[in-house]
Structure 1
């Protein structure tokens, strides 16, 4: 009972904090977010660049006393499915910049403040190319040492980061937090609960593609539910996700919905299909109590191409709680500090 009361108080505190952060000039909705650039401290720099012909909206974080004439290791941060750069991706980008890295968090194309139509298209090839694009951009940023670029992928961004790192050897060290294998879940259902309906859902996706050809975009994944309905959702990931994305850390650009036609690509992709191609150092971080942990377990087992790998579990943490609970965030950052410090040969 005591732990439940503490958890409820924590959520209330986070909700009040997020409400105050709605006034953040950069739109950041995480605790401790930068609201102004101050000399001698970590600074944030809103950026825009193109991947292909589509505009990408990004935030670059530079470390305290940043000097563009010096050389810094850099880390790209890929956001969760439905998330945007102003939420957990921004939090970890800022925390890593506090450790001395130049970091970048960018909205995936078709999502957030980035361009692309139809909106909320979620195709693995697009998300992987977005990660390549972040590497392209940060490689040209003043002060970045291109031989010391790492990657952090969070939730769905973690699965796509594993996909990108298989071929992009500019990424010298790979970390994921609460990794979510979008292909496996869209195909099999969460915790493999929808295997019996795979063919039915593929047919629906194909029909949705037909509708798009005729100008009508069909979406799936919306969470238009009440608080009471959310509390009855069968998985902690979805219950906590509702609280995080719609209550405590809501952002107007963040949404769970995606085009149903995206399932044609999602359901035939898997983050672990060629994971043996990753030969870079690999760190998978997950909550010990997360109902998504099975995805990090599988990725770790299949990542046989690297000898430098670790599955690090945060005791007592659930998936969404690693996004904002200070105790869990601090543990994750401390682990990343050790990992990136040694693998990127930090000066």
Structure 2
């Protein structure tokens, strides 16, 4: 495998497989042990969007092994029904990926870190609190999807949304069809026609619904009947007690509805980590930090030395 660059693997999860791409550094030698970083994709996204092609690839070029995976029920991973967005499963995915990594001879089990983007960042925060095999955590525009499910995603009517979810799940149990909601308009033109002005919603549509970021598995969809667990979950719960790993938080200074600026600031203030860094990228929006060269470079200029120091 001396000339390997990427390898696709299937990782055993609860009763299905997780799909993942491993990015190897130049001159990879499978007789050596490497620091390894798990890269987690945004909510409704897939491993080929920013987590893999941007961040995992960049970390591999700097001498680390990086692995980007699709969440259970999403992307090319298994699990039925499709498009479940459940924080319990999303956090457990990290442990299954680590189970795979610690069985690979080229992975140093004491040098495993996580880099997670947007909603994946929120799940990574939650996972790191109890998964002590994670030795360092980096987040890029981390989103707290649980809070969004109590606020903006449901027009600030969490109880009304939960009642509707309960009714839909009962209907499905009795044979009704499933309701899968696309989180975004089908195109930037449709977003403009709908009068959307929020920077995150508009730029998300431009990223996911055009050739800029569109991928076959980037579904941007939630199964409505399984969203209730999100409303009762919060990415930052117990961070003051359990989140002790070294932490590098990257946000942009142009906030939008998805709340990554707010989440990053709160995470920095609440985390028990003794070694933590907050990077605010000037002039950058949430989606600039997915793939735009200059903001991404600023993020990596902090994240790469962070991992080299702590892994």
TM-score interval, smaller chain: over 0.9
| Equivalent residue for 1:57, pick from 12, 19, 33 | 19
Q: 1:265 to 1:70 in 2, by over 3 A?
A: same
Q: How many residues align?
A: 302
Gaps of 5+ in 1: 1-36
Asked if residue 199 in structure 1 is aligned to residue 199 in structure 2, the reply is no
Q: Which residue of 2 aligns with 1:280?
A: 245
Q: Distance in 1 between matches of 2:122 and 2:292?
A: 22
Q: Which residue of 2 aligns with 1:177?
A: 140
Which SS does the other structure have where 1:239 is aligned?
helix
Q: Distance in 1 between matches of 2:188 and 2:296?
A: 26
- Preserved contact between residue 211 and residue 218 of structure 1 (Cα < 8 Å): no
Q: Distance in 1 between matches of 2:76 and 2:188?
A: 27
Moved more, 257-266 or 146-155: 257-266
Which SS does the other structure have where 1:327 is aligned?
helix
Q: Distance in 1 between matches of 2:117 and 2:16?
A: 23
Asked if residue 336 in structure 1 is aligned to residue 300 in structure 2, the reply is no
Asked if residue 46 in structure 1 is aligned to residue 8 in structure 2, the reply is yes
TM-score by length of 1: 0.84
Gaps of 5+ in 2: none
CA drift of 1:263 comes to 2.0
Q: Distance in 2 between matches of 1:66 and 1:228?
A: 45
Q: Distance in 2 between matches of 1:188 and 1:258?
A: 16
Q: Distance in 2 between matches of 1:226 and 1:322?
A: 21
Asked if residue 260 in structure 1 is aligned to residue 256 in structure 2, the reply is no
Q: Distance in 1 between matches of 2:243 and 2:29?
A: 33
Q: Distance in 2 between matches of 1:158 and 1:227?
A: 26
Q: Which residue of 2 aligns with 1:34?
A: none
Which SS does the other structure have where 1:58 is aligned?
strand
| Equivalent residue for 2:73, pick from 110, 126, 129 | 110
The aligned runs of 1:120-199 (5 Å cut-off) are 120-189=83-152, 194-195=155-156, 197-199=157-159
**Alignment RMSD:** 1.6
CA drift of 1:208 comes to 1.7
Deviations 1:165-208 (A, max 9, x none): 00111111011000010000011116xx832x221111111112
| Equivalent residue for 2:287, pick from 308, 312, 320 | 320
